[in-house]
Amino acid sequence: MRLTKLSYVTLWAVHFDQVKAFYEEILGLPVAQENENFVMFDTKGSRLAFHRLTKALPLSRATIEVHLEVNDVDEVYWSLKSKGVKFVDPPANRPWGTRAAGFKDPEGYVVEIVGPLKPGEPSKGE
């Protein structure tokens, strides 16, 4: 037996309605399935789901990162900034071979948009 595909990941959200609106309306991810306590977003690969949580301590550190792949990090960065997304860091080539820019969603999860390196720019980061 060999497990070969990650079907989806479910994260829990106290700010469920804000998270749902953010991923659907701001990030533009299509909803694949939903009910009052659950929403699953479709992507070209694995799916991303959120389940309503009624009470939890606030996230005090980044323990989860969601990476969304795009063709042009800089283009998506400017588009999302124009919609009010506040980025933690601007687009930069990373030493591990991608270009990335990150922000936090309404729940506090770190979200990075990642894509191909931008030629001619040095790598930054860890």
For the domain made up of 8-55, give the CATH fold: 2,3-Dihydroxybiphenyl 1,2-Dioxygenase; domain 1 (3.10.180)
DSSP code string of 83-95: TT--EEEEEEE-T
Three-state DSSP at 1 gives: coil
Q: What is the pLDDT of residues 51-108, one digit of tens each?
A: 999 887 777 667 788 999 999 999 999 999 999 999 999 999 999 999 999 999 999 8
Which pLDDT belongs to residue 61?
66
Strand partners, 49: 10, 40
What residue spans in the chain does CATH classification 3.10.180.10 cover? 8-55, 64-126
Give the rounded percent of residues in the chain with a pLDDT score beyond 70: 95
CB atoms within 10 A of CB 17: 12
Comparing 60 with 121, the larger pLDDT belongs to: 121
Q: Are 69 and 60 in contact (CB under 8 A)?
A: no
Task: Return the CATH superfamily for domain 64-126.
Answer: 2,3-Dihydroxybiphenyl 1,2-Dioxygenase, domain 1 (3.10.180.10)
